[in-house]
Structure formats: structure tokens, C-alpha cells
Chains A and B, each alone.
Chain A
Amino acid sequence: MAIYDARRRSSKFYLGLCYLAVVIGLSWLAIILATLLFEGLRNISPAIFTQMTPPPGADGGLLNAITGSLIMTTLGVAIGTPLGMLAGTYMAEYGRYSKLTFFVRFINDILLSAPSIVIGLFVYEVMVVRMGHFSALAGAVSLAVIVVPVVVRTTEDMLLLVPDTLREAARALGLPRSIVIGKVAYRAARAGLVTGVILAIARISGETAPLLFTALNNQFFSTNLFAPMSSLPAVIFQFALSPYKEWQHLAWTGALLITLAVLALSITARVLQTQRRAK
């Protein structure tokens, strides 16, 4: 009987460790979110959305940073999505069994987790050096480079979920493949494709590293794509590491705004996905 007891005990011990890990892991993450809410909400005010980032020691808001983030994110998605969707379409439709697809899928999965700071360096070399100055456009392009693999991946996955019988039925009517893809496959996979784009937006809205030396930062309000532009992550980076209390408070508020945006986007994507499955 002793051996049974020992086995039971060791089982209990290890499973206990598992429970412990869950409690520690989840409470740790809960603490992060709680601090973020507390510190972020403490200093939130209408001024955040109406005033510019202040000089050290003064009060101000994050208007230029929020606008900059919105502009660059929108532009990044607008550049990256078509490219990603077309590539994903090739992989799922025209070249489903080709060697190229296999290779692109492998490379794409690597790009998906490649360090974003390296992508910043790449865009710096290709655009900033050529143009001679930092610009919002370069920032948007570096975000687009991050968008592409996300969209490629979801587009391919979602199109592969569309039953082939639908495609065959349309082909039997004599439609060319481009129309089958456009009118049948895309339409059937629409929710999934939208999910991919939302996930891509969520991914880049907090991206900091590639913006640091492409869009740089800008203390003032600017919508000029060919000049440096402020962004929330860059402002958080600069302000959090500063010794000024007002700047640190703004950094926390900015961090809260980004987190809320990312969480809202991911939840939307998730809801879309479950709706799809329910149908």
C-alpha cells in the first residue's frame, strides 16, 4: 500500500504545483492590469484629448500623440492589408499545392514573430536614409511590414476553411477563378478576413520599437506625412523614462489608452470569430 500512497502523494504534489502556477500567473497578470487602470485613470481628464504633449513640468494632453498613432496605424493597415490579402489568396487559391506556397508560409511564420526593432532598422535603411529625414510615412511603412504577415496568415487560414464544393459549384457555371475567389470565397470568408485585419490593427497599435527611428517623435501637432510624427508608444517611452512627474503620469494614461484599444480590438475579433463558428 505504501507505494500507492507515495504515487498518490506525488500526484497531489505536482498537481498542487500546477494550481499554484495558475494562481500566481493569473494574479500577476491581474496586478499589472490593476496598476494600469489605477495609474491611468488617476490622471485621466478631458485635457488628455484636447491638449498637446507639454514641455517638462507643465500640464498637457496627448492629442498629438493620439492623432499620430491613428494616422500611422491607418496608413500602415492600408498599405499592408492589400499585399497580405493578395499573398494569402495566392497561397489558398491559385498555388495551394505549389512549392512557393510552402516556402512563403514558412518565411511568413518567421516574419510573424521576427523582432520588430529589426524591421525598424530595415525601414530606416530603405526610407529614412534615402529621404534624408525621419517621416510619418516611414513609420507607417514599418507598421505595414508588421501587418503583412498577420494578414497573410489569417487570409490563408480563412480561405482554406471555405468548403471546396462552393468553389466547384461556381466553377461549374463557367466562372473564371478570379470571380470565384472574389464573389464566392471572399464572401464566405468575410468575417474571418475582417478578423485578420482587426488582429493586425491590435498588433501594431502598441508597436513601439519600429517607430523610434522611422517616425521619431514630434512635440507638436502634425499631419504632415513627410515630417516626424508623434505616436502614443513613442511618447510613453520618452515620458516614462523622464524624471518629471507630469510626464510620467501622461505615460501611464497613454499606456492605459493603448491597452484598452488593444483589448477592445482583440475582443471584437474574438466575437466575430465565434459568430462565424455559430453560423
Chain B
Amino acid sequence: MADNLAVDNIGLDRAESRLAKSLAGFKLGDTVFHLLTLAAAWAVLILLGGVIASLVLGSMPAIKAFGLNFLSTEAWNPVTEKFGAMAPVYGTIVTSLIAMAIAVPSAMAIAIFLTELCPFTLRKPIGIAIELLAGIPSIIYGIWGLFVLAPFLQEHVEPGLIASFANVPVLSKLFAGPPYGIGVLTAGIILAVMVLPIVTSISRDVFETVPPVLKEAAYAVGCTTWEVIRSVVIPYTRVGLIGGVMLGLGRALGETMAVTFVIGNAHKIAPSLLAPGTTISATIANEFTEAVGDLYTSALIALGLILFVITFIILAISRYMLMRMHQQEGR
């Protein structure tokens, strides 16, 4: 009997120590996993830090050589190693502005249609179609722009623009010939087509946050559909809309392939929108692998840095706006 009891006690001790061991194992595993996920979260921040640091380091030779003049020089001459960012920066901003001028009103109109006017059965298919289009890679838009849009504009649209604005003071400068087909305007239009689905799907999501009660109240006092949209839906969603537009702008500024195909890669600032130009991303994509010499490479990386800083600011504003909208919604 006594022997058996002793054996049982030993067994119990063993079981207890095994339990303690596995509990300790749990604890260890938990700590390790916790630290692992924490490290991964930090890695995301480090990734961004790494991007900024590598761009700054890489562009150091160019910054040292040109200083702030880099921003205000138009010349881009690999032979004499004279580089300035003005032409690509100008091209980036102008193409993005053209794109936003076309895409924002159209996207809002489509979003209004989807939330206010569309019959329920069509709402989902059209919404899905737009979201699928937002996922199509930009190189597809680029190749289409090069082979279809550019020749079309060259033959049918640009001659008309040049002729009809020939005697109008400012516009004659903006639409001065010859019609190349590829150029700043074409790039802007392609960008608009690319950004359209993105801005549309955000605007639609934003419009859907308007409480039906508000709209019904406006209808009840006799507002027409347009008046409801203009004085209830749009003011209510203003912050979110700006966020969505900024997000589209951030995409347009950094977009590479769609633009590279159709911009013409000419390092000059032409007053005409029909003339070939270049953007920051197109310059990098076209010239980086062919860049000979440290200064040339460095100048291209400096362009990348400028682009990153601009888009970072725009995207940060966009996120801030969208965040504010969600907070409002929560209240």
C-alpha cells in the first residue's frame, strides 16, 4: 500500500512538472510570437525609413553638385552632366492636373449615379466592374494609349483643337501644333482613364455613408434630386471626397508605365499641351538603366526623392481626410 502511494505521489509530481513545463512552453511560445509580430510591425516602419534613407543617400552626389538649383534648372544634358528637375516636375504636375480635371467630375458623376440614380439590380454589377478596372495594371493602359489613343488624337482631335483655338489668345499657345499624338495632353487623358475607377470607387463608398434620413428630409421639403445631391450629399461627404481626390492625385503623380508610353520623353517645358514632355517617373523608367556615371544615376534618384516627397505629402493629407471622415461617422 505504502509503496503504491509513494509511486502515485511520484506520478503526480511528474504530471505537475510536465504541466508546469508545458505552461512555460506556452509562455515562451507566446512571448516569441508576440515579439515576432512586434518586429514585423516595426519592419513596416523601417521599410519606409529605408526607402527614404536610400533615396537621400543615393541622391547626395546630385544634391551636392547642384544644390537647390536642381529644382529650378530646365536643362538635362547627360553629355555635359548638367541636370535639372524642372521639366520632369512640370510634366508630372501638368499631366496629373489634366488627369484630375477630367477624372474627378466624371468619377463623382458616376458615383452619384451608382448611389442615387441607379436601379438596385444594376448597382452591384457596375460597381464590381469599376472595382475590377481599378485593378488592371497600368502597363495595359499604357500600351492602349500608345497604339490606339495617340494615333486617334493625332488624326482626329488634335488638328481640330489647333485649328479652332488658333485665334484665341491663351488657348492658341496651349494647343499649338504640330499634332504629334504623343505628348502631355495624351498622357493626361490616359492618366484620367486610369485614375477614374479609383476615385469613383472611393466617392461611391463615401456617398454611401450619408444617412438616408438626411436625404429623405431634404426630399420631404421639396428638393429636387440634384438639389439633394448638391446641398446634402456633397457637403456631408466633403472631407471624404477631398481624401478620395487626393488619393487619386497621389496615384496619378507617381504613375509610371501608363505615362511613359505616351509622353514622348522630351526634357523641355513647352507651352503647348500637344508637345512631347516628360514626367519624373517616365524619366526614371526610360533612362535609369542607360544612365552612365554616378552623377547621372544620382540625378535620377534625386528625381525619385522629389516624387516620393510630393506623393507622400499628398497621400498623407488624403489619409488624414479619410480618417477624419471615419471619425465623424463614428460619432
Contacts and interface: CB of A to CB of B under 8 A. Distances in A.
Nearest to B31: A178
B44 A111 contact: yes
Given A26-B129, A208-B138, A270-B128, A118 B307 contact: yes
B27 interface: yes
Given A11-B224, A14-B226, A148-B44, A113 B315 contact: yes
Contact of B256 (A10, A22, A208, A236): A208
B78 interface: no
Nearest to A126: B54
A47 interface: no
Contacts of A91: 41
B223 to A, nearest CB: 9
21 contacts: A13-B226, A20-B109, A21-B105, A29-B193, A83-B43, A87-B44, A94-B38, A106-B319, A108-B44, A109-B315, A113-B251, A118-B308, A121-B288, A149-B44, A182-B33, A206-B137, A206-B138, A237-B260, A240-B142, A266-B132, A267-B132
Given A116-B256, A125-B54, A148 B47 contact: yes
Tier of interface size on chain A: 35 or more
Nearest to A129: B58
A219 B133 CA distance: 31
Interface of A: 7-8, 10-11, 13-15, 17-22, 24-26, 28-29, 31-32, 35-36, 39, 83-87, 89-91, 93-95, 100-101, 103-104, 106-111, 113-119, 121-122, 124-126, 145, 148-149, 152, 175-179, 181-182, 202-203, 205-209, 212-213, 216, 233, 236-237, 240-241, 248, 251-252, 255, 258-259, 262-263, 266-267, 270
Q: In the complex, which of the residues B38, B141, B300 has the most CB atoms of chain A within 10 Å of its own CB atom?
A: B38
Given A213-B288, A262-B137, A87 B281 contact: no
A236 B307 CA distance: 25
B254 interface: yes
Given A25-B196, A152-B44, A115 B256 contact: yes
Nearest to B260: A237
B276 to A, nearest CB: 14
Nearest to B316: A110
9 closest A-B pairs by beta carbon, nearest first, are A206-B137, A115-B254, A86-B40, A21-B109, A90-B37, A11-B224, A11-B226, A178-B33, A87-B40
A111 B132 contact: no
Contact of B41 (A26, A28, A90, A258): A90
A7 B148 CA distance: 41
Contacts of A106: 316, 319
Interface of B: 26-27, 29-30, 32-34, 36-45, 47-48, 50-51, 54-55, 57-58, 105-107, 109-110, 112-113, 117, 126, 128-129, 131-133, 135-144, 146-148, 193, 196-197, 200, 224-227, 229-230, 247, 250-251, 253-257, 260-261, 281, 284-285, 288-289, 300-301, 304, 307-308, 311-312, 315-316, 319
B124 to A, nearest CB: 10
Given A15-B117, A35-B144, A259-B140, A114 B224 contact: no
Q: In the complex, which of the residues A8, A84, A152, A236 has the most CB atoms of chain B within 10 Å of its own CB atom?
A: A236
A90 B38 contact: yes
B44 to A, nearest CB: 5
A258 B261 contact: no
A156 to B, nearest CB: 10
Given A94-B38, A115-B256, A15 B225 contact: yes
A201 to B, nearest CB: 11
A213 B318 CA distance: 30
